[in-house]
Structure 1
Amino acid sequence: MMTHYDVTKLEHLERKTDWKKNYAHFASGNKLLLAPTLLIAIGGLTLFLLNKTRLLQSGYGLMAGLITMAGVVLFVIISVRGKKQVLENISQKPVCLAKIIRSNEQQQVYYGIFSTSDTRWDTALLQHISERVGNITADTSNPDDKTVERLLRTSQANVPLQTCSLPASFTGGHQIYLKSFDFSVLDEVTCDYIRHRNGIFPVLYVDNSNVPVVLKDYITA
């Protein structure tokens, strides 16, 4: 299998900024959006119940409507400000190479590892960590192995895994991140390209919850 990615091309892609703006959306899972989401949900549910009991025109209905509107306005404000912050820093966001280390092909959820430091294009390091993961035994007593295996447990495969760090003692002191990637949003050509490159693919690290696959951007760079 091929694993080669042109470092010069990766450098060129990373220096360009216009294409990165396409991925500068404010992550919907951001904790700051929790409060307005709750306001919208509470207000909307209250309006629904009041409508059922024909009390929509009462003072309670007005209050519920105001709560819902406040939630919507707050949601928009936080989202716009969040995206603005991302756009201001987007040029500094690194392009990294990630490698699949485990998968749930039925759900098309793939666990990948990557680095955002100066080792972000080191495919040999990714391969080494991948082999370390593959050599973890079911009866391991090593605490680092247990930590990694717990993160990769099959029972968790249906739950999106936010970006998290692997133990430094497991990776030889390197900062290596683990994240799940949803390949169901990728076309078959892209998936085949990744398979033929030993499960290695380029990503853009925007933040912990936003690490999109940017293979098409790499190819056209």
Structure 2
Amino acid sequence: MPEFAEEAEVTADAKRAVRVAVLARRRASTADQRATAAARVQAELVALVRRLRPRLVAAYVPVGTEPGGPDLPGVLAGALPAGARLLLPVLRDDLDLDWGAWTGPENLVAAGRGMREPAGPRLGMTAVAGAELVVVPAVAVDRRGLRLGRGGGSYDRALVRVPADTLTVVPLHDGELVDRLPAAPHDRAVRAVVTPTDGLRTLNGKPGVVPHTSAGRTGGQ
């Protein structure tokens, strides 16, 4: 087996091991613990949105034990200035992401991989490029900003379309910001995370990229 193939296999195995461990820990948490964590994460993101006043935000609908709670899109939409829009991902057959506009919880439909997505018109894969704030799901993130997803590669492809200076933020549970994750060359770094205890934290030595939020725990790495 060529050396590069062996390295790729080792990386995939290492990622799988971390993913299994983190998801097991999430499942072991109680509903009350998840609800408390979601409220804190939402408060941090709302404070950030109200400070940035973006005209376009891209986010997602958390499912199961994902941080932020299933009502996260509605909470974010309620914090946006008048006329601003919230985009949500639409999973394509090739596992890439299209995007649709949030128009309320009643217009969300079940989709592949447990996702819930907007039922309205598709806006194209490049719609995310215009967002001023992108809220990204992950299983874990390291202090370089590299994220571990579910393994489908959807957000690896979507983030390539997001300009490097766009603020990308990952909601996490406590303990899911780690020193270092196994990474592949195509992995794209995010710029900040939100955790219930530490709030909004910037990554990769860039303490100035996230404005201070009124939730009160913003800081660098």
Q: TM-score range by the shorter chain?
A: under 0.3
**Whose RCO is larger (CA < 8 A, sep 6+)?**
1
TM-score of the aligned structures, taking structure 2 as reference length:
0.25
